[in-house]
Amino acid sequence: MTKVISSNLGYPRIGEKREWKQALELYWNKSITEQELGVRTDKIRLNNIKKQQDKGIDLIPVGDFSFYDHVLDTSIMFGIVPSRFHYEGGKIDLDTYFAIARGNKDAVASKMTKWFNTNYHYIVPELKNVTPEITENLPLKYYKEAKSKLGVDGKPIFLGPLTFLKLSQGYEEEDLSDLIDTFTPLYITILQELEESGVSWVQVDEPIFGMNLSEYELELTHKVYQSIRQAVPSLKIIIQTYFESVTNYQSVCDLPVDGIGLDFVHGDTFSLLKKYGFPKGKVLAAGVVDGRNVWRANVEQKLSLLEEIVRYSDNTLIVQPSCSLLHVPVSKTLENEIDPIILDRLSFADERLEEIAILTKGLRTGRSSIRNEIIESNRSLHRVKESSYRENQNIKDEITSLSEADFTRTLPFSERIKEQRKQLGLPLLPTTTIGSLPQTQEVRQTRIKWRNGEISGQQYDQFIQQSIQKWISIQQDIGLDVFVHGEFERTDMVEYFGEKLKGFIVTKYGWVQSYGSRCVKPPLIVGDVSFKNPMTVKETIYAQSLTDKPVKGMLTGPITILNWSFVYEDVPRFTVLNQIALALRKEVEALEGHGINIIQVDEPALREGLPLDRDKQPAYLDAAVYAFRLATSSVKTETQIHTHMCYSDFKNIFNAIDNLDADVISIETSKSHGELIATFEENTYEKEIGLGVYDIHSPRIPSLSEVKQNINRALQIISPQQFWINPDCGLKTRKEAETVDALKLMVQAAEEIRESYIAFQQ
C-alpha cells in the first residue's frame, strides 16, 4: 500500500498586503533599524509556516523565505561575494547582501536575470576570483526556528549544486567539473548538519533538469549526488524539478536520492512516467496543481491523474504543487470586487494548499470522502464556461480574416529608415528614456484617492496632466532628444492594459514578486480579448502638445501582456496572443492617426515564455514574432516602431529579435556588465539599437566615466548611425532627484562623445 502525504514547495514571501515589501523599503530608506526589519519579517515568515500547518500540509518548506532572492541567499551561504564589495570572510552582513543586489555608491550591483521562464528575477552569482566557504547554514537556521517556535518539523529547501553553478557566471565550461568538486564538500557539510539536527526530509531544487543537459553534465550530477548519498545515508533527500518535463528522465530518476519531484502540469511528464516507469523503492513527488497559474484545479481530473500516477509508486507518493507558490498571489480572500463567478474559479497560494490537502485526502481515503469538493469544483467550472466571458465571435472572425500583408511593413528597413530620419531630424546618438518616469508617493496616493472616489475623474486627469507637464519641462531642461509622457496614469505596464481591454479582469491584492521588493499584479484573462477604446492616446497627444520634440507612444507588447497575465487554462495561449496583438494594432493606428511618429511596443518578456526544452522553442518564437508584427505592421513608412527588452540571454533568440522588424530596439546591458554586447559582435544587426548605458534598478548614480565607457564599448561594434543612448529600463521605481541627476550625466556623456565623433570625422 502506497503511503500518501501532502507537501508544498515554497510559499510567497511578500505577505497578503505586501508587508514584506514595505518593511524592506523602510529599511532601505533608513526609516527602521535592522532589528525592526527582523521583527517584521520574522512575523511574516512564521505566519506563512503557520498557515501551511493549519491547512494540513505534511511537509512544510522552510528556507524558502528570503530578504531579496533565494539564489542570492545561496551565494551568501557559500561566501560568494564579488571582490568590488570588499568582503573579508565570515558571516555576510545585511547591508553587503543588499549591496550585491542593488549596488552602492562605490560598486555596481550584480547582474539580474530571469529565473528560467518566469517573471521572477534572480541575482546572478559571480564565481570569478572567489573561494567558496560556508558562512551560515541558512536551511538549518530556518529549520530550527520553525521547530522551536511553531513545533513544525519542516522540510529544509535550497538550490542544488548543478542548478546553482549553471546559473552562475565567471567560469568557463571546462571548469564545471572542478567547481563541482569544490562545492560538493560544502553541500555535504550543510546536509550533515541538517541530518545531525534530526531533519527527516530535505528538498534540493534542481530545475535545471528541465533543460537539455549534456551527457557530461549528467555524469557530473550523478557524481555529486553519489558523494552526498555516501556522506548522509540516513537523510531523506528529494531532488525537485519544475517548470517543464525532465528532458533526461531516466538519468534523473536514477540519481542516488530518496525521491524525485516531477512537474505533471507543464510538459508531458505523465507520458514519460508511462513509458519508462519509476524506480522501485523511491518516493515520487507529483506536482499536480499549477504553481504558476491562479485558476482553480478541476478536482475530479486531478484526482484521476493521481490515481494513475500512484500505480507507478510502490513506496510513498507526495501530492504537491508543480513548483513553488512564489509565482502566485497569497490569498483571494481580500478580493471583494471581482465577479463571484470568476472569484469562485480563482486559487491563489492559500487556496492551492487547500487543493493539495483535498487531493491528498481523496487519494488516501477514496473519492467518496471528497465527493462534495468534486461536485463544487465541477459546478464552478461549468458556471464560467456558460458565462458571457467566454465567446466573442467578432474577434474570432477578425483573426481568421487576416492575410500575410497584415504582418509585413510596406517597405524594408533599409528604405524605411531614410524616411524616418528625414521625418524626425534627430542628431547622431539620439538620447531618450525607456518609458516610465518616477511614480512618487504623491502619484500613487492620488490614484488611490481617485479609485476610492475621494476626488473626481476630472481632478485626477488634471493631476496626470500636471505630472506630464512637469516632466516634459524636465526632459527639455535635461536635453533629451526624444521624450516620453511618463506613464503616471499607469499602475503597471500590463495591469493598465488589462483594465482597458475586453476579456481581462484585474485584482486588488493579486501581487506577485518580480525582483527584490518589486511586485507586479498580473491581470486575469478570462475570455476573448478585444479592443474597446483608445488606451494611451489622450496622455500621449497631451504630452506632444507641450513640446516640439518627438514624444514616444508607449505600449506593452502582446507576448509580454500574455506572459505577465494569468490566462484562463482552457483558452489556447497563441489564440489569445493574436487577439491581444490585434487589439494593440488598433491602438498603434490610433496613436499614429493623432500624429505620434514614434511608437514603442515593449516586449521585456519575449524570452521569458521560451520553453526550457529546445525542441519546443521555435514554435513559441514564431508565434511571438507573428504577434508583434501583427501589432505593428500597419503603420506608415515614416512612423518609427521601437521595442524594449531586458534580462535576457539574446544569443539564442537573435534571429527572432531581428524578425520582429522593429526599427529600433533597446536592450538592457549595464546590469549584465556589457556581456550582451558580445551577441552583436557575433551577429550582423542592421537596424537601430540602444544598449542601456546605466542600471536603473540600483539607487546609485553612475559616474560620467562609467556611462561614457559603456557607450564607447558599444560603439566598438555598433555604428554611431545606428546607436541610441538610453537607460537600461523604465524609471518608475526611481526617485526624482536621482533620475534627473543620472539622465543629465547620460546626456552629457552622449553630447561629449557625439562632439568627439563629429570632430574626428571632420
DSSP 522: P
Going by the annotation, the residues of the binding site for Zn(2+) are: 644, 646, 668, 729
Place of cell 524578425: 659
How many Å apart are CA 758 and CA 750, to the nearest integer? 12
Cell numbers linked to 480: 533629451
Instruction: Kindly tell me if the per-residue pLDDT of 699 is higher than 80.
Output: no
> HSE of 640 in the Cβ direction (CA atoms, 13 Å)?
24
Q: Which has the closest alpha carbon to 138: 61, 219, 250?
A: 61
When pLDDT is averaged across residues 419-438 and rounded to a whole number, the result is: 95
Instruction: Kindly tell me if the per-residue pLDDT of 153 is higher than 70.
Output: yes
* pLDDT, mean over the chain: 93
Burial 352-390 (b: 16+ CB within 10 A, else e): bbbbbbbbbbbbbeeeeebeebbeebeebbeebeeeebe
pLDDT of residue 315: 85
Non-local (6+) Cβ contacts of 532 within 8 A are 500, 501, 502
Q: What angle do CA 74, 75, 76 make, to 5 degrees?
A: 95
pLDDT of residue 674: 54
pTM across the whole model: 0.91
Residue 153 CB neighbours (<10 A) = 16
When pLDDT is averaged across residues 516-534 and rounded to a whole number, the result is: 94
From residue 284, alpha-carbon distances to 6, 178, 269, 317 in Å are: 12, 31, 12, 5
pLDDT of residue 438: 92
How many Å apart are CA 366 and CA 360, to the nearest integer? 10
Under 8 Å between Cβ of 25 and 121: no
DSSP structure string for 224-249 = HHHHHHHH-TTSEEEEE--SS--TTH
Between 736-761 and 457-478, two packed helices, what is the crossing angle to 10 degrees? 40
pLDDT of residue 648: 55
How many Å apart are CA 484 and CA 475, to the nearest integer? 9
Instruction: Kindly tell me if the per-residue pLDDT of 530 is higher than 90.
Output: yes
Under 8 Å between Cβ of 645 and 671: no
When pLDDT is averaged across residues 205-222 and rounded to a whole number, the result is: 96
When pLDDT is averaged across residues 220-231 and rounded to a whole number, the result is: 97
Q: Which has the closest alpha carbon to 244: 323, 325, 302?
A: 323
Longest Cα pair distance anywhere in the chain, in angstroms?
86
3-state secondary structure 529-563: EECCCCCCHHHHHHHHHCCCCCECEEEECHHHHHH
For the stretch 278-296, pLDDT in tens is 999 999 999 999 999 999 9
> HSE of 694 in the Cβ direction (CA atoms, 13 Å)?
30
From residue 718, alpha-carbon distances to 323, 482, 714, 750 in Å are: 41, 20, 6, 15
Q: What angle do CA 688, 689, 692 make, to 5 degrees?
A: 160
Under 8 Å between Cβ of 731 and 437: yes
Instruction: Kindly tell me if the per-residue pLDDT of 673 is higher than 50.
Output: no
How many Å apart are CA 457 and CA 694, to the nearest integer? 37
Residue 538 CB neighbours (<10 A) = 15
pLDDT of residue 653: 84
How many Å apart are CA 187 and CA 677, to the nearest integer? 35
How many Å apart are CA 446 and CA 584, to the nearest integer? 28
Instruction: Kindly tell me if the per-residue pLDDT of 351 is higher than 60.
Output: yes
Sign of CA dihedral 262, 264, 268, 273: positive
Under 8 Å between Cβ of 722 and 688: yes
How many Å apart are CA 62 and CA 37, to the nearest integer? 19
From residue 305, alpha-carbon distances to 59, 335, 346, 371, 677 in Å are: 21, 31, 21, 16, 47
> HSE of 377 in the Cβ direction (CA atoms, 13 Å)?
20
Non-local (6+) Cβ contacts of 393 within 8 A are none
How many Å apart are CA 226 and CA 161, to the nearest integer? 13
When pLDDT is averaged across residues 672-700 and rounded to a whole number, the result is: 74
Going by the annotation, the residues of the binding site for L-homocysteine are: 434-436, 487, 602
How many Å apart are CA 36 and CA 26, to the nearest integer? 10
For the stretch 454-502, pLDDT in tens is 999 999 999 999 999 999 999 999 999 999 999 999 988 999 999 999 9
Checking DSSP bridges between strand 553-556 and strand 598-602, what pairing results, if any?
Answer: parallel
Non-local (6+) Cβ contacts of 47 within 8 A are none
How many Å apart are CA 666 and CA 725, to the nearest integer? 9
Per mean pLDDT, which range of 244-258, 336-350, 590-604, 665-679 is the poorest?
665-679
How many Å apart are CA 729 and CA 486, to the nearest integer? 13
The amino acid at 347: S
Cell numbers linked to 335: 478580493
DSSP 484: -
Q: Measured in whole angstroms, how far is the alpha carbon of residue 19 from the centre of its chain?
A: 20
Domains of the chain: 3-13+56-385 (3.20.20.210), 393-761 (3.20.20.210)
Under 8 Å between Cβ of 34 and 109: no
For the stretch 352-383, pLDDT in tens is 999 999 999 999 999 999 999 999 999 998 89
Helix (H) or strand (E) holding 26: helix 19-28
When pLDDT is averaged across residues 235-260 and rounded to a whole number, the result is: 96
How many Å apart are CA 568 and CA 576, to the nearest integer? 10
> In the structure, what pLDDT confidence band is assigned to residue 717 with cuts at 50, 70 and 90?
confident
pLDDT of residue 649: 64
Going by the annotation, the residues of the binding site for L-methionine are: 434-436, 487, 602
Going by the annotation, the residues of the binding site are: 18-21, 114, 119, 434-436, 487, 518-519, 564, 602, 608, 644, 646, 668, 729
Cell numbers linked to 106: 562605490
Under 8 Å between Cβ of 488 and 444: no
For the stretch 377-416, pLDDT in tens is 999 988 988 887 767 788 888 988 999 899 999 999 999 9
Under 8 Å between Cβ of 204 and 239: yes
> In the structure, what pLDDT confidence band is assigned to residue 667 with cuts at 50, 70 and 90?
confident
Instruction: Kindly tell me if the per-residue pLDDT of 66 is higher than 90.
Output: yes
Percent of the chain with pLDDT over 90: 81
Q: Measured in whole angstroms, how far is the alpha carbon of residue 692 from the centre of its chain?
A: 19
Q: Measured in whole angstroms, how far is the alpha carbon of residue 478 from the centre of its chain?
A: 32
Residue 214, Cβ density class (10 Å: 0-12 exposed, 13-18 middle, ≥19 buried): exposed
Q: What angle do CA 589, 406, 557 make, to 5 degrees?
A: 55
Bridge partners of residue 236, in order along the sequence: 201
Checking DSSP bridges between strand 112-114 and strand 512-515, what pairing results, if any?
Answer: unpaired
When pLDDT is averaged across residues 209-233 and rounded to a whole number, the result is: 96
Place of cell 555524469: 219
pLDDT of residue 676: 61
Between 371-385 and 299-309, two packed helices, what is the crossing angle to 10 degrees? 130
Non-local (6+) Cβ contacts of 95 within 8 A are none
How many Å apart are CA 416 and CA 617, to the nearest integer? 30
How many Å apart are CA 73 and CA 64, to the nearest integer? 10
How many Å apart are CA 49 and CA 18, to the nearest integer? 17
How many Å apart are CA 399 and CA 572, to the nearest integer? 14
Catalytic residues: 697
